[in-house]
Amino acid sequence: MARRRVAILISGRGSNMTALIEAAKAKDYPAEIVLVMSNIAGAGGLAKAGDAGIETATVESKPFGKDREAFERKLNETLIAHNIELVCLAGFLRLLTPWFVRQWEGRMLNIHPALLPSYKGLHTHERALADGVKIHGATVHFVVPEMDSGPIIMQGAVAVRDDDTPDTLATRVLGVEHCIYPNSLRLVASGRTRLENGVCKSDASGSPDDALISPEVI
């Protein structure tokens, strides 16, 4: 089966972008990262992508002002010109309009640093700590017009420690992100996911006895 052509959209350093690029180097990986595009000129991830031999592009959002759709039409033109089949958002700091999301329905993935549907939006680690949750994590989902609300493809969790700060928790969650994003793209690109009534199903499954309990009493 031909590898699916993937574009990654970034606004910054692109740490999840790097994880996807590394995973796609494997010969059996079903997706190929062919384009990294940023809405901010000079974003750190562009140089990293270039060093990895991947084509980069910049479509600056600033000149379009409040005309979000005009910016997105330019973005979309670039994606179509590169024959992109799947889009991965990796720290792309733009709220996308329903128009753009519709163009890529079921073909655009995002990663969020929380166990959705909990903690949509920003400052997820601070909010989780303030609530005293014992398990936290990250979610890869398909993008829908409503923010952080699309069908969930994969989740990964970490135990929250009593001495955690937002930074220490973020570091452990980032490790989970770098694992579940490449694996989610693997599932989607290989055709192993399907959407049923707004829920993502796949032929992959965790072990039936998988359990993360926190805190654990020894």
pLDDT tens digits, the chain, 218 residues: what are they? 799 999 999 999 999 999 999 999 999 999 999 999 999 999 999 999 999 999 999 999 999 999 999 999 999 999 999 999 999 999 999 999 999 999 999 999 999 999 999 999 999 999 999 999 999 999 999 999 999 999 999 999 999 999 999 999 999 999 999 999 999 999 999 999 999 999 999 998 877 778 889 998 88
Residue 16 to residue 111: CA distance in whole angstroms: 9
16 CB contacts (<8 Å, ≥6 apart)? 88, 90, 91, 111, 177, 178, 181
> Do the annotations mark residue 110 as ligand-binding?
yes
Percent of the residues in the chain that have a pLDDT greater than 70, as a whole number: 100
The pLDDT tens digits for 42-88 are 999 999 999 999 999 999 999 999 999 999 999 999 999 999 999 99
- All structural domains of the chain, each given as residue ranges with its CATH number in brackets, are 4-196 (3.40.50.170)
Cα–Cα distances in angstroms (integers) from residue 91 to residues 20, 36, 136, 160, 199, in the given order = 13, 12, 19, 23, 24
Quote the tokens at residue 185.
């793209």
**Is the peptide bond between 98 and the residue preceding it cis, with omega within 30 degrees of 0?**
no
> Do the annotations mark residue 16 as ligand-binding?
yes
Catalytic residues, by residue number, are 112
Residue 38 to residue 74: CA distance in whole angstroms: 12
> Do the annotations mark residue 102 as ligand-binding?
no
According to the model, what pLDDT value does residue 111 have? 98
What is the value of pTM for the model shown?
A: 0.96
Percent of the residues in the chain that have a pLDDT greater than 90, as a whole number: 93
Quote the tokens at residue 137.
């994590």
> Do the annotations mark residue 15 as ligand-binding?
yes
Q: Which residue, among 169, 172, 109, 101, has the nearest Cα to 140 in the 3D structure?
A: 109
> Do the annotations mark residue 14 as ligand-binding?
yes
> Do the annotations mark residue 68 as ligand-binding?
yes
